[in-house]
Structure 1
Amino acid sequence: MEFKGYLLSLRLQRENLPEGYPFNIPCLQTFQELAFHPNVTFFTGENGIGKSTFIEAIAVNLGFNAEGGSKNFHFSSRETHSILHQYLTISKSFRHFKDGFFLRGESFYNVASQIDKLDEEPGFSQKIIASYGGISLHEQSHGESFWSLFMNRFNGHGVYILDEPESALSANKQIAMLAKINSLVHTNAQFIITTHSPILLAYPNAIIYEMADGEINSIKYEESEVYRLYKSFLDNPKRILDNLFTSNT
């Protein structure tokens, strides 16, 4: 049977929306509904456009901890997430995902600390860190800990929500990440990813939503702002730098 994903679509309940943040974010003021790709759905756009707020709300709506981790993580260093998740309706298929993880770079340190804390408690024969490569994530560099999580913790047959995972990864690791994503997709994994990386966005046949100009629109890879900007720069970095430095003198 063809895999059609666990999450099918997302709708914002626009009736009786509260005023103020996050509903005053321009992209949310016009948003109504979107469809998820059964394999990979991307959200891209400028800083401050609302990507992280949006993907956080999706994760919390599905039962993940707002600061990241699996559904079994129930810690909070500070309550900062919005109430947007309360106004989202996610349409799901008949399939139930067996695994899942919400990765957000800004609070990944807290996830690593929680793993160490739980492993220090008595009564567990199997250490949690064994599922993350066996070495404390605090004993690795930021990039190494991200990579260890991605390579060891994600098992397929799950939903993986990643907020700018490229933030700690080199270009080589981002390319390798594409191969791992593809491998997991073939084990019925579904990804929802926010990214500024033109490397990750290149994953074939994904849905790309660009958040810009107060709208959330489905676009082609070559139409994305991040692709056009990187391509323009790499095609002729000297010309762009000359223009940039001249305008600042």
Structure 2
Amino acid sequence: MKLNRGNQYIREVYLREDLITSYKHYPFNLPVIRHFQHILFHPNVTYIIGENGMGKSTLLEAIAIALGFNPEGGSLNFRFSNFDSHSNLFQYLRTVRGVNKAKDGFFLRAETFYNVATNIEELDREPGGGRRIIDSFGSKSLHELSHGEAFFAAFIERFQGNGLYILDEPEAALSPLRQISMLARIHDLVEQGSQFIISTHSPIVMAYPDAKIIQLTEEGMSETTLEDSNHYFIMKQFFEDKERLLHHLFN
């Protein structure tokens, strides 16, 4: 697959180790930070994967904030907060941007998408506004849709191309069929000059061809392939020999 290098809006991220005085406390005690290597992003799609507790969502959140996104999600123009739960890791990151500037951008995270939907409705109720924000999401209130439908509507309707899109565990709201449809939409947007950074547990979501997959473990981070990832191996083992695996699990 041809690489769209012209749409590499973020090239690298470094950890400012000179600013860290101790690795004993959160978020610096996370495996991803204790063994941090600078990340070279793929011009099209980069996946950050790993078991729970490795720090992938914390890292993705910090990257998004360092690039100017709201901690709870949304576009660069969103400035709301229901609960300040994000870490200060973003203050210790240095991002290296590409030559071109993205025309669009969005930080989409399943965990706080309800808050984004609420903020959209609040902004659209304010007097004197222009075009409704919700019209960019398909015009129907996101609260009137299921979580998965609202999440997918944002992905299909709101993302316009020529953008930098950061997705935190999008599979949490999507069925397997929707996850497959999501790959098709990712491809459309890459062809339209977009770059993606995605944190995920789903082997379906991480199946985009020629993407970079960075796997986080207790030993640090390393580049891998879909077929060599722990997520793929476990799912493959489960479906190929489900009875034996369940037998050992239950006994």
1:222 is paired with a residue of what secondary structure? Answer: coil
Gapped runs of 5+ residues in structure 2? none
Asked whether 1:218 is paired with 2:239, we answer no
The structure-2 alpha-carbon separation of the partners of 1:2 and 1:34, relative to structure 1 and needing over 3 Å to count, comes to: closer
When structure 1 is superposed on structure 2, of 13-22 and 50-59 the one drifting more is 13-22
Superposed CA offset, 1:62-111 (max 9, x none): 00000100011000011111111111111111100010000111111110
Q: Which residue of 2 aligns with 1:34?
A: 39
Q: Which residue of 2 aligns with 1:11?
A: 14
TM-score (norm 1): 0.96
Q: Is the 2:47–2:211 contact (alpha carbons within 8 Å) kept by the matching residues of 1?
A: yes
1:159 to 164, 184, 190: 164
Query: Number of matched residues?
Result: 246
Q: Which residue of 1 aligns with 2:177?
A: 172
Q: Is the 2:7–2:195 contact (alpha carbons within 8 Å) kept by the matching residues of 1?
A: no
Q: Which residue of 2 aligns with 1:149?
A: 154
Give matches, 1:107-186, under 5 Å.
Answer: 107-186=112-191
When structure 1 is superposed on structure 2, of 33-42 and 117-126 the one drifting more is 117-126
1:108 is paired with a residue of what secondary structure? Answer: helix
Q: Over aligned residue pairs, what C-alpha RMSD do you find?
A: 1.1
TM-score (norm 2): 0.96
Asked whether 1:205 is paired with 2:210, we answer yes
Alignment partners' CA distance in 1, 2:230 and 2:118? 36
Tell me by how many angstroms 1:215 deviates.
Answer: 0.3
The structure-2 alpha-carbon separation of the partners of 1:74 and 1:2, relative to structure 1 and needing over 3 Å to count, comes to: closer
1:15 is paired with a residue of what secondary structure? Answer: helix
Q: Which residue of 2 aligns with 1:46?
A: 51
Alignment partners' CA distance in 2, 1:2 and 1:174? 25
2:28 is paired with a residue of what secondary structure? Answer: coil
Amino acid at match of 1:133: G
Amino acid at match of 2:39: L
Alignment partners' CA distance in 2, 1:2 and 1:223? 26
Give matches, 1:186-201, under 5 Å.
Answer: 186-201=191-206
Identity %: 50
Gapped runs of 5+ residues in structure 1? none
Superposed CA offset, 1:187-230 (max 9, x none): 11000000000001111100000011230111111110000000
Alignment partners' CA distance in 2, 1:122 and 1:4? 37
When structure 1 is superposed on structure 2, of 95-104 and 9-18 the one drifting more is 9-18
Superposed CA offset, 1:36-74 (max 9, x none): 000000001111110110000000000000010001100
Asked whether 1:238 is paired with 2:243, we answer yes
Alignment partners' CA distance in 2, 1:214 and 1:146? 33
Q: Is the 1:28–1:214 contact (alpha carbons within 8 Å) kept by the matching residues of 2?
A: no
